[in-house]
Amino acid sequence: MSAPRVPDSHPRRRPVDRLRRGLRTAAVAGVVRLLAALFALLPWRVAQAIGRGIGRLGWSLSSLFHTRDVRRSLEHLAIAFPEQSEAEHRQIARGCYHHLGTLLGETLWLLSRDCRGLAAHLRTEGLDRVHEIRASGRPVLFFTGHCGNWEMLAAAVNCSGLSMAVVARPLDEEALQRLLTTARGRFGTRVIDRGAPSAARDLLRAMRDGAVGMLIDQDTKADGDWVPFFGRPAYTPIGAARIALHQDAAVIPCFTERLPDGSHVARFADPLPLPDDPIEATAAMTRMIEEHIRRVPEQWVWMHRRWRRQPEPAPPTDR
Maximum C-alpha span of the chain: 73
DSSP for 4-24, written as a single string: PP-----PPPPHHHHHHHHHH
pLDDT at 8: 46
Whether the CB-CB separation of 80 and 134 falls below 8 Å is answered with: no
Average pLDDT over residues 124-131: 97
Confidence check: pLDDT of 9 > 60: no
The 10s digit of each residue's pLDDT in 104-115 is 999 999 989 999
- The answer to whether the beta carbons of residues 274 and 281 sit under 8 Å apart is yes
Sign (positive or negative) of CA dihedral 229, 144, 48, 69: negative
Could you tell me the CA-to-CA distances from 168 to 53, 87, 177, 288 in Å, in that order?
Answer: 28, 35, 11, 20
CB 22 within 8 A of CB 14: no
Q: What value does the mean pLDDT of the chain take? A: 91
- Model confidence at 317: pLDDT above 70: no
Check the CA dihedral 283-284-285-291 and report its sign: positive
pLDDT at 12 over 60: no
Q: Which residues contact 200 (CB under 8 A, 6 or more apart)?
A: none
Share of the chain above pLDDT 70, in %: 94
Compute the average pLDDT of residues 131-148. Answer: 97
The rounded Cα 284 to chain-centroid distance in angstroms is 18
Tell me, what's the pLDDT at 4?
Answer: 45
Beta strands in 245-317 (DSSP E): 250-258, 264-268
* Amino acid (1-letter code) at residue 191: V
Compute how many other C-beta atoms are within 10 angstroms of the C-beta atom of residue 291: 11
Share of the chain above pLDDT 90, in %: 76
Q: What is the mean pLDDT of residues 55-64?
A: 97
Closest CA to 255 of 70, 95, 59, 122: 122
Q: Which of the residue ranges 196-200, 289-293, 305-309, 312-316 would you say has the lowest mean pLDDT?
A: 312-316
Gap between the Cα atoms of 216 and 134, Å rounded: 22
Distance separating alpha carbons of residues 136 and 128, to the nearest angstrom = 13
- The helix (H) or strand (E) run that includes residue 94 is helix 86-110
> For residue 256, what pLDDT is reported?
98
With cut-offs at 50, 70 and 90, classify the pLDDT of residue 5.
very low
- Determine the average pLDDT of the residues in 57-66: 96
- Cβ proximity of 167 and 195 under 8 Å: no
Number of H helices, E strands in the chain: 11, 9
Rounded Cα gap, residues 136 and 216, in angstroms: 26
- Around 87, how many Cα atoms within 13 Å sit in the side-chain half-sphere? 0
Q: Give pTM, 2 decimals.
A: 0.90
- Does residue 118 have a pLDDT over 90? yes
Question: What values do phi and psi take at 249, rounded to 5?
Answer: -85, 155
Q: What is the pLDDT of residues 27-48, one digit of tens each?
A: 877 888 899 899 999 999 999 9
Distance of CA 111 to the CA centre of its chain: 18
Is 318's pLDDT higher than 80? no
Q: Determine whether 285 is exposed, middle or buried from the number of CB atoms within 10 Å of its CB (0-12, 13-18, 19+).
A: buried
Contact call for residues 297 and 92 (beta carbons, < 8 A): yes
CB atoms within 10 A of CB 56: 15
* Span 213-267, pLDDT tens digits: 999 999 988 899 999 999 999 999 999 999 999 999 999 999 999 999 999 999 9
More confident residue, 73 or 6: 73
Q: Using one digit for the tens of pLDDT, what is the confidence trace for 176-208?
A: 777 778 788 899 999 998 878 888 899 999 999
- Mean pLDDT across 290-296: 98
User: What is the pLDDT, as a whole number, of residue 17?
Assistant: 78
